[in-house]
Amino acid sequence: MHDRCMWRRGLVRQMMRCCMLHVFPSQDHKQNMAMIKSSERSLIFPSLSPPFLNYQHTLPLSLLDTDRNLHVTFRYLRVYDAAATTTSNDPFHVISSATSRALLHYYPLAGTLRRDNHNRLELFCSSGQGVPFIHATVDFNLRSVNYLDDPDFAFVEQLVPDPGPKEGMEHPCMLQLTMFKCGGFALGAAIHHALCDGLGGSLFFNAVAELARGAVRVTVDPVWEREKLLRPGDPARVDSPLIKEFLGLDKGFLAYEQDIGKVGRECFDVKDEMLERFKKGLFEECGLKFTTFEVLGAYIWRSKVRASGVQAHEKVKFAYSINIRRLVKPPLPAGYWGNGCVPMYVQLSAKDLIEEPLWKTAELIKKSKSNVTDEYVSSFINYQELHFGDGITAGKGVSGFTDWRHLGHSTVDFGWGGPVTVLPLGRNLLGSVEPCFFLPYSTASEGKKEGFKVLVTLAEAALPAFRKDMQVFAESQEQLAVITNHFILHTLTEHYFCYLSSPMMASTLGTSSIAFLPSQYLSSPSSKSSIHSLSLTSGKKFYGGIGVHGIKGRSQFSVASVATEVNSVEQAQKIASKESQRPVYPFAAIVGQDEMKLCLLLNVIDPKIGGVMIMGDRGTGKSTTVRSLVDLLPEIAVVAGDPYNSDPQDPEFMGVEVRERVLKGEQLQVVLSKINMVDLPLGATEDRVCGTIDIEKALTEGVKAFEPGLLAKANRGILYVDEVNLLDDHLVDVLLDSAASGWNTVEREGISISHPARFILIGSGNPEEGELRPQLLDRFGMHAQVGTVRDAELRVKIVEERARFDKNPKEFRDSYKADQEKLQDQISSARSILSSVQIDQDLKVKISKVCAELNVDGLRGDIVTNRAAKALAALKGRDKVSAEDIATVIPNCLRHRLRKDPLESIDSGLLVTEKFYEVFG
């Protein structure tokens, strides 16, 4: 061992070399850039030589790894703000040492890629291999370059290794750490894509970060087994017709060697407010909700194709990756760090892309997600097997898109906090030489907090036209907001409302709806815009952006929809009451989904747990299960006639008027009422949610004329938001504020009214539709994951039960009446004994130890786990919490609080369970 270490040190000394790297002066920053002062390169070896490296061997790659589009080195950069560094905790020393230890587990990163006899890539491994690590310094502060948030790429290129094709094969992983004068640093990585994708790379860097923070071992053991886990079928068959529709065979065409002239890269700012207006505009046009990726991707794709001057008849493709780690059967293990994504495409002719309404393109992107089935994945793998030597390609005209805003790059914390900026430098992606990245702003950048940036790579000749399109996008949205707000404001007041419902206005508009959208986004740029001027009784005219459209037979802004917005709360409550009379599927009849059902029951027993977030595949019964909870809800005492369901015993749950009556000594009339379940529709207005003040009545009569909203009705009850991840941001802010304070405050024209709004927040959604804001996700006490039932017999039973319910709901409900009553009694009994349930001190300490070792932020995880364990013990009729109770609930209480990639393949619940058994023994 001593001889081996001496040999290794000698090799390191031989590999050390010093060189001066010149940095091009920045054109974007006022301060002139100095050159990098010094740079040293060394090899980092595994801290111990694994026994299996004492002889030479090769590791096979999967068919996804050997995809021709992945034969590139991907380069990216993480920037860390000023660290409290000393000689003993110098970032280079800490990270290089941790990298050496991590290479014990990820030793293939130190191997060498080469081609076998069939020209496929394989990995050659032997002793003495290491990862090149460059240590560089610069003589200025990160702040002077705005933390590389809006970088000068000529400078940034010097911060990341840039190996040529030969060196990239010899050293598939290369790192560079550049120290800045302020104490901050940048960590650049160049990793060959055949070894891993972005999620696999994050597994490696998170392992390094864990060890750098002092961990003894990595949390997730890496899994290789590439060829075994993603092997082709026997025989290999291509069953999905989409494969041959999107992919072709051309040995002579190499995607990344296309000559499109000089290429430029630019960052464009996208404001949240601007984007939300744009989404709402498209919703008015087609009635569909779109994610940011869908709508902005569609707009940028069209703008790039138009700016590039693509011939009208040519086919163009929108390409993006979808994670298949949980889609394949069986799912890939948590530690699998190879390529675990397949490309998906949307294909159109350039003419159709430019001339079709934008919402149609966004809809195609939305629908394409559902095309990634197990059949598509297996067909893609089999196609790689059958035609590897035939030159598989997606052809020309591919635009690659990827969203880095939620990929968990910020979780890589070496002990000084996560990175403030993450920046990709790769120019080749998914067969595209002009990729587009959605990136978060630097958390340390000044003046850029709301929104994100888009990094676009494009032929320089096309950039001027593309810039103009992006500018039009921003300016038109601002103009649109002014027009829309002005029109709606006057429509809902005085003579404008009368004019809107007049025969003259009806004859002008016909049966079509009014869509508030700039015509250039929804029709061909070459077609003439239909711009109308609406002459109102005041003599004013409104121009631009207000057009008459008949959309799928739906009225998007008609007299009826205006009337709905100004309906009284009493009318809305009558409608809700009528809706509640519809037969509800019995909770006891729900087949499977035990995790979701348990979380819901525990929150009914103890509302202070804080609600449930239910995420899972479409069609798995999320909404049905939540709404079936209505029949099980127990009765509570409320003050009669009070719109806030005030608790006659608890001042914290009393409205202001009830509290004043109590202080005056009045006798309160108390009635029993079932706990309310209130549905919050995605299209609800803020006034409908929060309530509204009748300004005219307040001014003329001198009283606070308040019409309560949904938050008032939900007090002491349940507020359910289906598709919560699509909820408008301004309503999310309202929910956050109410969930945090327990009170809802309405401010209008100098008048302020507050009322209690303590509710159990239940949300459901499909992760494919987008992720939740972290602030909202943290407000949910528990998190349940639901999946599609795979057992054929259970599926048949579910279908049969649903058919019985649809045929005769009353008879079906009667058949489950005994089971429902048993559940009701169990819940009531659990609520009555909950206060007497005890949990031992040592169990409390172990719960907190699990939370601490998982780096759970804050103390909500500790509190919720204790409450949920007590509620489960009460549900089982016991007065003392056991370790088994904690084991059951702790994954649901902590999985959504872990600081990890929300799109990561690793099941965070499994990480929690593993840590539980480690701590509890």
Contact by Cβ (8 Å): 282, 362: yes
Q: How far is CA 602 from the centre of its chain?
A: 27
Q: How many CB atoms lie within 10 A of CB 808?
A: 12
Q: Rounded CA gap, 304 and 389, in Å?
A: 32
Q: Rounded CA gap, 4 and 47, in Å?
A: 11
Is 860 catalytic? The answer is: yes
Contact by Cβ (8 Å): 399, 319: yes
Q: Rounded CA gap, 477 and 463, in Å?
A: 21
Containing H/E element for 775? helix 774-777
Query: Does residue 419 have a cis bond before it (omega within 30 degrees)?
Result: no
Specify the amino acid at residue 276.
E
Q: Which residues of 610-628 are buried (b: 16+ CB within 10 A; e: fewer)?
A: bbbbbbbeeebbbebbbbb
Specify the amino acid at residue 343.
P
Would you put residue 250 in left (φ > 0), alpha (ψ -120 to 50) or beta? Answer: beta
Q: Rounded CA gap, 882 and 840, in Å?
A: 9
Instruction: Say whether 45 sits in a helix, a strand or coil.
Output: coil
Containing H/E element for 188? strand 185-192
Phi and psi for 183 in degrees, rounded to 5? 105, -15
Phi and psi for 763 in degrees, rounded to 5? -130, 150
- Which among 860, 867, 895, 897 is annotated as catalytic? 860
Q: How many CB atoms lie within 10 A of CB 694?
A: 16
Q: Please name which of 392, 431, 336, 389 lies closest in space to residue 116, comparing C-alpha atoms.
A: 389
Q: Which position has the token pair 């304070």?
A: 741
Which tokens is 291 given?
């994610």
Q: How many CB atoms lie within 10 A of CB 580?
A: 13
Residues 6+ apart with CB under 8 A from 346: 317, 318, 361, 364, 365, 368
Q: Which position has the token pair 């992107």?
A: 365
Distances (CA, A) of 675 to 476, 645, 654, 656, 659: 46, 9, 16, 21, 21
Q: Rounded CA gap, 881 and 365, in Å?
A: 49
Can you give the C-alpha Rg of the chain in angstroms? 30
Q: Rounded CA gap, 323 and 499, in Å?
A: 53
Residues designated as active site: 860
